[in-house]
Amino acid sequence: MTPSIRLRLFLVQALVLLAALAVVTLLAFRQQRAWALRESEETLQHAALPAAARLPAVADWDSLADRLGDELAFRVTLMDRAGRVLGDSQVERDRIAEVENHAHRPEMAAALAGRVGQAVRRSATLGLDLVYVAVPAPAGREVAVLRLAEPLTVAAAMAAALLRLSLWVALAALLLTLPLLLWAVGRHSGRIAELESVAHRLAAGDPAARAREIPADELGRLGHAVNHMAEQGRARLDALERERDEREAILAHMSDGVALVDDHARVARMNRGFAELLGMPMPAAPGTALREFARVPELDELIARARREDRPVEADLRLWAAAQRPVHATATPLPAGGGRSVLVVLHDLSESERLDRVRQDFVANVSHELRTPLTSLRGYAETLLDGGLEDAERREGFVRVIRDQAVRLEALAEDLLVLATLERPGATLHREPLNLRELVERQAAGFRARARQAGLTLEVAPGPALAVTADRVRLEQVVANLLDNAVKYTERGGVTVRLGEAEGSAWCEVSDTGSGIPAEERSRVFERFYRVDKARSREKGGTGLGLSIVKHIIGLHDGEVSVQSRVGEGSTFRFEIPRAPADA
């Protein structure tokens, strides 16, 4: 295992510290040893100079050397000008004569030259390392040089004592510095560990993880860079998530069914529309095979064909869901991802089939409506041509029928035109402020004569003006159609119109005492060409389109139309429109 950065930092710094202390201690030791030696030489010199000055004139130089040796506690050597040793405190008297000539010993040579001579050397005489100091004796004596010596061990002992002291100091320094070092290293490695933990938290997706940026040294700057990176990453992630959500929303709200089928024919992804078209629960379990989910062999075949031919293929299929649903399916092999995924799009054709059917029904209805008056027109015209013109009694009746049928055709054409205008996409209203009560009263006045002829009353309940913003011509059409129906389908009694307002809207009710409409037919009377009593409607010149026109116009005004009725008692048609349009 790699040692921690904390341990490595500590070891490196501790080693550097140790080396520095060792070098310092070594240098100090060398200095101390030199100093101890100098000290030793100076002591010797201090003792030698007065001793040399006070040298008595004696015959037995060796005894003098011995005595001085005892006195000074150093080795004392006396030498004459020729280099012959006259006496030595540490050499036996009888061996003095054997001592070799000392004139060339460096310290002796210096003293002979009149200077203080010093040397550190192994004594050939004693076999010991000695420190020598030789001083010249006053002139005119037999003794020319007094030399003092002491073993080097004295200076060495002093140096050793000093070394011990240095070592203790070094140890104390080490003991003082190591905790400091540990603390400093711990602080730095702690900051690194903190950065590491922040990086881990960021990687784990914690958006609140932030590194420390203070103090602003290298680690602080690294922390700043990490934070900057995190913010950038977050922003990029947010943008991606937003994009993904938008894409998901588009997919989810598409009415088309979209699915991605992977190369093992499993549903990798799909939208709600896909599940709904197939009448299956959403979402499918991950990895569900399309064959199990859809159970439409033609779809499997379509996907296989798209793969085989490596191009988009299309087909109209029927899905065997709850209701048999016609769809247009497109299978497109996707090049992306390296696999052989296929994008399947199902477009629901039910609505367009329904519209087709409505269109066909409408054409059939219109043809049917046209056929009756046209047949009768042709019949009466042929009768007139085949001698009917000569029949003075009946020809006027025939021509009247022809006119009535033409009127009926005209009414039908008129109503169809109105419906077509209203149903055109983007049909607009010419809104203007108007008084609904006045509009209704004027229409009622137009119907009064017809009502009276039919033995009916026609009343508009009195009340205040009712201001609305609406399309005058279209509203007149609505009221006229309702009044027309009320008069048409009432035998006895009369028609009453009431108006009023409720929470920002105006309402109008047309009540009659007519035949009424059975409950099961009420919702259908607003359909095109729907009639409760076909014979009666035809007889009265109805087209079967009046109420669907009413419903359309009120719808364009954002209003509602409804009917309440009791068979044999009468009906009440009511419409309600906002007093001002929503966008005003």
Q: Which of 542, 561, 576, 579 touches ligand ADP (CB under 6 A)?
A: 542
Nearer to ligand ADP, 191 or 552 (CB): 552
Please, what is the minimum distance in Å from the beta carbon of residue 402 to ligand ADP? 21
Please state, in angstroms and rounded to a whole number, the distance separating the CA atoms of residues 89 and 82: 20
Q: Which of 532, 560, 564, 580 touches ligand ADP (CB under 6 A)?
A: 532
Please, what is the minimum distance in Å from the beta carbon of residue 532 to ligand ADP? 3
Q: Which of 262, 476, 533, 560 touches ligand ADP (CB under 6 A)?
A: 533
User: 333 near 306, Cβ under 8 Å?
Assistant: yes
Please, what is the minimum distance in Å from the beta carbon of residue 435 to ligand ADP? 25
Please, what is the minimum distance in Å from the beta carbon of residue 513 to ligand ADP? 10
Nearer to ligand ADP, 41 or 415 (CB): 415
Please, what is the minimum distance in Å from the beta carbon of residue 537 to ligand ADP? 3
Q: Which region among 127-135, 140-148, 249-257, 529-537 touches ligand ADP (by CB under 6 A)?
A: 529-537
Residue 548: name the closest of 423, 367, 442, 431 by CA. 423
The owner of tokens 């529309």 is 273
Please, what is the minimum distance in Å from the beta carbon of residue 540 to ligand ADP? 7
Q: Which of 531, 560, 562, 581 touches ligand ADP (CB under 6 A)?
A: 531
Which x/- pattern, by CB under 6 A, does the window 477-516 give for ligand ADP?
----x---xx--x----------------------x-xx-
Q: Which of 546, 552, 557, 575 touches ligand ADP (CB under 6 A)?
A: 546
> In sequence order, what DSSP letters do the residues of 251-280 get, joined into one string?
HHH-SSEEEEE-TTSBEEEE-HHHHHHHT-
Could you tell me the two tokens for 198? 């922040």
By three-state DSSP, how is residue 532 classified?
coil
Please state, in angstroms and rounded to a whole number, the distance separating the CA atoms of residues 130 and 134: 13
Please, what is the minimum distance in Å from the beta carbon of residue 439 to ligand ADP? 19
Nearer to ligand ADP, 448 or 531 (CB): 531
Per-residue exposure over 305-326, b if at least 16 CB sit within 10 Å of its own CB, e if not:
ebbeeeeebeeebebebeeebe
Please, what is the minimum distance in Å from the beta carbon of residue 569 to ligand ADP? 11
The owner of tokens 């009639």 is 531
User: 329 near 302, Cβ under 8 Å?
Assistant: yes
Nearer to ligand ADP, 204 or 535 (CB): 535
> What stretches of 425-512 adopt beta strand conformation (E)?
431-435, 457-460, 467-471, 494-502, 505-512
Question: What is the footprint of ligand ADP within residues 554-573 (CB under 6 A)?
Answer: 571
Q: Which of 110, 470, 525, 554 touches ligand ADP (CB under 6 A)?
A: 525
List all residues 6 or more positions away from 579 whose beta carbon is below 8 Å from its beta carbon: 467, 468, 469, 501, 504, 505, 506
Q: Which of 451, 543, 553, 561 touches ligand ADP (CB under 6 A)?
A: 543
Question: What is the footprint of ligand ADP within residues 316-335 (CB under 6 A)?
Answer: none
The owner of tokens 């922390």 is 223
Nearer to ligand ADP, 396 or 569 (CB): 569
Could you tell me the two tokens for 392? 């003075």
Please, what is the minimum distance in Å from the beta carbon of residue 373 to ligand ADP? 14
User: 56 near 137, Cβ under 8 Å?
Assistant: no
Q: Which of 76, 537, 559, 579 touches ligand ADP (CB under 6 A)?
A: 537
Please state, in angstroms and rounded to a whole number, the distance separating the CA atoms of residues 485 and 482: 5
Q: Which of 517, 554, 561, 577 touches ligand ADP (CB under 6 A)?
A: 517
Beta strands 313-320 and 267-270 are unpaired
Distances (CA, A) of 531 to 366, 521, 535: 14, 9, 9
Please, what is the minimum distance in Å from the beta carbon of residue 376 to ligand ADP? 18
Please, what is the minimum distance in Å from the beta carbon of residue 362 to ligand ADP? 15
Q: What is the DSSP letter of 95?
A: G
By three-state DSSP, how is residue 79 classified?
strand
- 3-state helix, strand, coil split of the chain in percent (to 5) is 55, 20, 25
Please, what is the minimum distance in Å from the beta carbon of residue 530 to ligand ADP? 6
> In sequence order, what DSSP letters do the residues of 365-423 get, joined into one string?
HHHHHHHHHHHHHHHHHHHHHTTGGG-TTTHHHHHHHHHHHHHHHHHHHHHHHHHHHHH
Please, what is the minimum distance in Å from the beta carbon of residue 419 to ligand ADP? 11
Question: According to the binding rule CB under 6 A, does residue 547 interact with ligand ADP?
Answer: yes
Nearer to ligand ADP, 348 or 484 (CB): 484
Q: Which region among 229-237, 263-271, 381-389, 527-535 touches ligand ADP (by CB under 6 A)?
A: 527-535
User: 546 near 526, Cβ under 8 Å?
Assistant: no
Per-residue exposure over 243-257, b if at least 16 CB sit within 10 Å of its own CB, e if not:
eeeeeeeebeeeebb
Nearer to ligand ADP, 330 or 481 (CB): 481
Q: Which region among 48-56, 57-65, 161-169, 537-545 touches ligand ADP (by CB under 6 A)?
A: 537-545
Count residues near ligand ADP (CB under 6 A).
22
Nearer to ligand ADP, 96 or 532 (CB): 532
Nearer to ligand ADP, 74 or 489 (CB): 489
Could you tell me the two tokens for 124? 């050939």
Nearer to ligand ADP, 284 or 475 (CB): 475
Q: Which positions lie near ligand ADP, rule CB under 6 A?
A: 481, 485-486, 489, 512, 514-515, 517, 525, 530-533, 537, 542-548, 571
